[in-house]
């Protein structure tokens, strides 16, 4: 699988991760080109360092460091929430124009829940008559970075992301996929914005709607 590199400098590199790609090796063996970290390593001829993660079915902006010093500096930017992250999500139903979810969630049942916060803004709404259902395109602004945060927050509000078979409704997802021929989870990381730790420049890495989003709207 060819890499779509959308930003690169001496210290950092970002790709547009497709929905099928893992960020790092999982429990089961995978070809190197299906793992972002390994594909980038092979492309650059050097090791790369993970800065954040996207779920396998989530596409979009994924940033890596080229060395450990950069990883350390940018990781602090993430930890101190000095980086802007934005996602597009297509969800079931009609949402308020603006809403937030402030919810304690945990990684596993035996872990202590931790605070999580996401702000949502409605961008567009459409009705698909054959499904007798409305759908909303949301701009998602996660403040914290918990596992499956946006997915869990939207399921909590009754607006599961289309194509999310973990938190959404199986029959509704199947009907949506059959009608639209979109067979993916409709969640996309489209923006990272932060101050570069070495140049002090404002870095804005942004992607347009992916084709599947444009097909709906």
Active site residues: 55
Q: Where are the beta strands (DSSP E) in 26-149?
A: 49-50, 59-65, 84-92, 98-105, 114-128, 133-142
What distance lies between CA 89 and its chain's CA centroid?
9
Cα separation, 149 vs 121, in Å, equals 16
Q: Are 137 and 129 in contact (CB under 8 A)?
A: no
**Geometric angle at alpha carbon 142, from 22 and 148, rounded to 5°:** 40
């Amino acid at each position: 699988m060819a890499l779509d590199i959308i930003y690169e400098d001496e210290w950092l590199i970002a790709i547009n991760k497709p929905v099928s790609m893992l960020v790092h090796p999982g429990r089961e063996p995978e070809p190197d080109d299906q793992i972002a970290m390994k594909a980038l390593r092979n492309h650059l001829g050097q090791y790369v360092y993970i800065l954040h993660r996207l779920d396998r079915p989530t596409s979009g902006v994924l940033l890596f460091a080229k060395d450990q010093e950069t990883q350390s500096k940018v990781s602090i930017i993430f930890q101190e929430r000095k980086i802007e992250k934005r996602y597009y999500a297509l969800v079931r139903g009609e949402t308020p124009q603006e809403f937030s979810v402030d919810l304690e969630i945990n990684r596993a049942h035996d872990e202590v829940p931790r605070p999580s916060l996401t702000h949502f803004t409605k961008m567009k709404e459409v009705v698909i008559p054959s499904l007798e259902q409305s759908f909303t395109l949301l701009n998602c602004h996660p403040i914290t970075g918990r596992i499956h945060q946006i997915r869990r927050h939207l399921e909590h509000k009754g607006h599961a992301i289309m194509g999310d078979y973990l938190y959404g409704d199986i029959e509704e997802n199947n009907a949506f996929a059959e009608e639209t021929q979109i067979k993916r989870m409709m969640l996309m990381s489209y923006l990272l914005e932060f101050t570069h730790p070495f140049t002090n420049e404002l870095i804005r890495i942004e992607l347009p709607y992916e084709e599947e989003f444009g097909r709906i709207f």
